[in-house]
């Protein structure tokens, strides 16, 4: 049963600390997305990769956020330093461009709370 | 870039129909999707419509597409409390990029 996994599921940290979120996309998928969801802003696209290359990270605050794909089985989203306004649920999704109408499969999310 | 817009909140009474609306801007869209997010979970594909169709029905769900106005809607007949969730529309552009709306939080009042 292939699915996207994310770790940690929950993270509570203090302002100024570094936070790293990890995602394992579905094997064989060539596109990976990072989203942030809050009650007031809804779902926002932060960045996405195709074949491990970053295609668009315009939704991401560049001064503190960074996204990487060190290999095809791992995507990371790092916040340094974290701020209370970063509190949100962060979703990773993967998909295969050109297959089945480009459906995206979402992970369960990482709920981040920055105090 | 593509802009996909939805209202953030919608409340309906149990048994009524819900209509969730979405507008998009890209004229080269190929597929349009509705995703559903249950509380505490990620998004899951609910249904989709190809851009050359104007309607798709699946049990209690009806998707309407007005391509001229770039307007997509999802109608849920006989809405139940279990339908309470966040519903996202998404647009697949001609460049094979998928853009999501912010999501509409549907609250069903018993």
pLDDT tens, position by position, A57-92? 888 888 999 999 999 999 999 999 999 999 999 999
Contact B33 A103 (CB under 8 A): yes
Nearest-CA distance A54 → chain B (Å): 14
A interface residues, B as partner, C-beta within 8 Å: 4, 35, 37, 40-45, 58, 91, 93, 95, 97-98, 101-104, 106-109
- Hey, what are A89's tokens? 């649920």
Tens of pLDDT, residue by residue over B41-88, are: 888 889 999 988 999 999 999 999 999 999 999 999 999 999 999 999
Q: In a 10 Å sphere around its CB, with 0-12 CB exposed, 13-18 middle and 19+ buried, how is residue A78 labelled?
A: middle
Handedness of CA B1, B44, B11, A41 (dihedral sign): negative
**Which of B44, B48, B88 has the CB atom closest to A101's CB atom?**
B48
């Amino acid at each position: 049963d292939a699915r996207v996994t994310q770790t940690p599921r929950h993270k509570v940290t203090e302002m100024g600390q570094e936070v790293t979120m990890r995602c394992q996309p579905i094997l064989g998928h060539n596109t990976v997305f990072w989203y942030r969801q809050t009650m007031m802003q809804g779902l926002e696209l932060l960045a996405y990769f195709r074949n491990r290359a970053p295609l668009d990270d315009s939704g991401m605050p560049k001064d503190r956020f960074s996204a990487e794909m060190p290999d095809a089985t791992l995507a990371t989203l790092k916040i340094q330093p974290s701020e209370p306004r970063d509190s949100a649920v962060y979703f990773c999704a993967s998909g295969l461009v050109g297959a089945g109408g480009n459906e995206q499969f979402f992970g369960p999310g990482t709920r981040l709370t920055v105090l | 870039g593509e802009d996909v817009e939805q209202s953030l909140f919608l409340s309906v009474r149990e048994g009524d129909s819900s209509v969730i609306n979405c507008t998009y801007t890209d004229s080269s869209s190929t597929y349009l999707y509705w995703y559903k997010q249950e509380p505490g979970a990620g998004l899951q594909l609910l249904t989709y419509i190809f851009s050359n169709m104007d309607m798709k029905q699946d049990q209690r769900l009806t998707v309407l597409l007005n391509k001229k106005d770039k307007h997509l809607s999802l109608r849920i007949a006989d809405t139940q409390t279990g339908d309470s969730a966040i519903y996202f529309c998404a647009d697949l552009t001609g460049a094979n990029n998928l853009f999501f709306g912010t999501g509409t939080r549907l609250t069903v009042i018993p």
